[in-house]
Structure 1
Amino acid sequence: MNRKEFGYLVATLRKEQRNDFDEIMTQYDLAELSRIPLVTLQKIEQGRQANIKPDMLLSLAQTLKLSARGRESFLLCASGLEESEIGASSLTPEQALAKLRDGLAQIQTPAFITDCFGDVLFANPALLAVYNATPEKLRASHLLTQFNIIRILMAPEFEEQRHMMGETAHAFIHSTVLLYKAMSIKYRTHWYFQMILPELNRMPIFREHWQSPAFHGEDVFINYNTITLRHPSFGELKFLSGPLQGITPHGDLNLYSFQPLDPHTAAICAQIVKQAGTTPIALAAWPKIKVDRHAHATSNSNA
């Protein structure tokens, strides 16, 4: 991102922090804690600071309490390179998505593909089966976030699905939001993220975890999560999930697969695949195309 966008990112991350009086962190607070002259910080946030020293960037990242994964993204954002330059490839974005989709079609366990905003582009039948949902259940055409993984996990209408997680739900959701925070840093200034964040913040569960400070010693250094489901038809299922990442000029694509953690879960996955197959189901479209501020964003079709 350019210097102006990076400055906006610093200001956004600062406003997510609280000071000692439980108020939004001010420029003065951040400058004092990171030992950066106030006028320099103001220039950074205004996009007028051409050269930002490495030790200054590291101090900002530490004061903003970024996770290890978030810190890596933050420092990359400070490079001044655009997403289209970082994600340049011999493959077109459509070819990159097609390769991930072909991989998804071969996976024998629950799996799905998201874009950099968390919108689920494709899911296999096994994912919908273990989550006890259907494409129709997921649809909410009045929402930009209708297929966003955060909505699917945390919206009030998916209370039945969260109930399957039992006592593990709180820890799983908290970990998911921490991962989302870290993985979305590169895209906080993007127009689409700015449009979907208010929708996500209308969900009390998301808002609680998004706004809560990190626990002491808490960090995100690897992108994986564990999940336990007590399915009404399949019994207790245990998985470990993490992404394979594809880089494109339109942002990262992530292929998540759920690896069974016990023989029963593996057997259930095999049973589901035998009955439902592995053909990916198209959900959200990609890449995002901006229309106007009074209308929903549109996207190219994945079909």
Structure 2
Amino acid sequence: MDRIEFGILVSLLRQDRNLTQFELAEHSQVENAVISQIERGVKKHFNSKLLMNLANALHLTTIERREFFLAASGVKQEHIVRQPNAALVTDSIDSEKVLGKMINIIKKLRLPAFIMDVYSDVLALNMVALAFFQVTPAILETAPTLPGGYTTVRMMFGKELALRSKVTENWDQYAVGSMRFIRENSLRYRAKPYFQYLMKSFKNPTEYPLFDRYWNMVSSFEQDREANVDVFTYTHADFGPLNYATATTVSITPNGELFLNQYLPLDEHTRSLFDTLAAQTSEGVIAPLAPWPEKHIP
């Protein structure tokens, strides 16, 4: 991320907290002129105290802090991965090959599993996940025509209320955990034009009536998670009481991280449900879904 993009990121994070530049300067004990320089992308060097003060004032979670500090380093995503080296016979990392390997993994998993990118675009999901999320043909057919049509945001917070209509108990806990994942893993990409394109739609209450509430709720929490794992316990309208953990495998590519999420049952009823869904579905995967690594803005 270059300094211009980092400045845009700081500005977006500040606006998330409904702060003016002056208020951020007060909260962070950083001079107002310095805040202005950062947001305009003209300040080239940051010391650790400045960055920590900003992270504290912006109320970033632990993972958001890590992403924020990495963004401030100025290192571009394509340089984070190991570089080709003839002396070490090191090949360059092929993003599409990485995705292909991950798809082969979820194809064989007999648990709900799917792959998403840093924009929460779902790139592939296995047949068990398709059955578990009850993804309708209409959702798949309209996805290419809608901003965010392939995202988990649409399933969670979109106007179809695809998941909200199914979760009858502990919805807030489920929604907050899902939104936290979205916020944390998108942080270094929020200044990108594609993310701004998505956010314009996500902020439209007609299309995404539940988005703003949970986006803001996550940023207002005072306490961080003790363990970086989401455990979901809720009642599903069709499947009954569920209890499972999300296990996430992260693959780093020159085009950003890919997240392989699989759901691990934590009680006998959920285990039995996943076994039943696996028995009722074939071994396979729905892919490709969202375009990747290239993102197109209409």
Alignment match, 1:151: 154
Alignment match, 1:268: 273
Q: Distance in 1 between matches of 2:251 and 2:124?
A: 14
Alignment match, 2:58: 64
Deviation at 1:242, TM superposition (A): 3.2
Q: Distance in 2 between matches of 1:82 and 1:33?
A: 29
The change in CA–CA distance for 1:221 and 1:61 in structure 2 (over 3 A counts) is farther
Deviation at 1:102, TM superposition (A): 1.2
Deviation at 1:208, TM superposition (A): 1.1
- TM-score under structure 2 length normalisation: 0.89
Mind listing any 5+ residue stretches in structure 1 that lack a counterpart?
Answer: 19-24, 297-303
Alignment match, 2:25: 31
Q: How many residues align?
A: 284
- Counterpart pick for 2:177 among 175, 178, 189: 175
Alignment match, 2:69: 75
Deviation at 1:261, TM superposition (A): 1.3
Mind listing any 5+ residue stretches in structure 2 that lack a counterpart?
Answer: 84-91
Q: Distance in 2 between matches of 1:157 and 1:127?
A: 18
Deviation at 1:175, TM superposition (A): 2.1
Q: Which deviations, in whole Å up to 9, do the C-alpha atoms of 1:128-185 show, x marking residues without a partner? A: 21222234334423212111001111112135x3232212111211222122111111
Matched-pair contact (CA < 8 Å) for 2:110–2:275: yes
Q: Which deviations, in whole Å up to 9, do the C-alpha atoms of 1:29-52 show, x marking residues without a partner? A: 111111111111211111111111
Once the two structures are overlaid, the 10-residue window that deviates more, 215-224 or 281-290, is 215-224
Matched-pair contact (CA < 8 Å) for 1:117–1:184: yes
1:279 partner letter? G
Alignment match, 1:189: 191
1:248 is the counterpart of 2:253: yes
Q: Distance in 1 between matches of 2:139 and 2:39?
A: 42
Q: Secondary structure at the match of 1:163?
A: coil
User: What are the equivalent positions in structure 2 for 1:92-171 lying under 5 Å apart?
Assistant: 92-140=94-142, 141-159=144-162, 161-171=163-173
Matched-pair contact (CA < 8 Å) for 1:237–1:264: yes
Deviation at 1:273, TM superposition (A): 1.6
Alignment match, 1:91: 93
User: What are the equivalent positions in structure 2 for 1:224-303 lying under 5 Å apart?
Assistant: 224-232=230-238, 234-282=239-287, 283-290=289-296, 296=298
Alignment match, 1:211: 216
- Cα RMSD over matched residues? 1.9
Matched-pair contact (CA < 8 Å) for 1:61–1:71: yes
Alignment match, 1:22: none
Q: Distance in 1 between matches of 2:222 and 2:211?
A: 20
Q: Distance in 2 between matches of 1:245 and 1:31?
A: 35
Q: Distance in 2 between matches of 1:5 and 1:164?
A: 39
The change in CA–CA distance for 1:259 and 1:252 in structure 2 (over 3 A counts) is same
The change in CA–CA distance for 1:223 and 1:207 in structure 2 (over 3 A counts) is same
Matched-pair contact (CA < 8 Å) for 2:119–2:195: yes
Matched-pair contact (CA < 8 Å) for 1:125–1:279: yes
Once the two structures are overlaid, the 10-residue window that deviates more, 88-97 or 216-225, is 216-225
The change in CA–CA distance for 1:278 and 1:158 in structure 2 (over 3 A counts) is farther
- Counterpart pick for 2:47 among 53, 58, 63: 53
The change in CA–CA distance for 1:267 and 1:147 in structure 2 (over 3 A counts) is same
1:158 partner letter? L
Deviation at 1:11, TM superposition (A): 0.8
Once the two structures are overlaid, the 10-residue window that deviates more, 55-64 or 144-153, is 144-153
Matched-pair contact (CA < 8 Å) for 2:246–2:262: yes
Matched-pair contact (CA < 8 Å) for 1:87–1:250: no
Q: Secondary structure at the match of 2:68?
A: helix
1:29 partner letter? E
Once the two structures are overlaid, the 10-residue window that deviates more, 27-36 or 86-95, is 86-95
Q: Secondary structure at the match of 1:162?
A: coil
Q: Secondary structure at the match of 2:244?
A: strand
Deviation at 1:221, TM superposition (A): 5.8
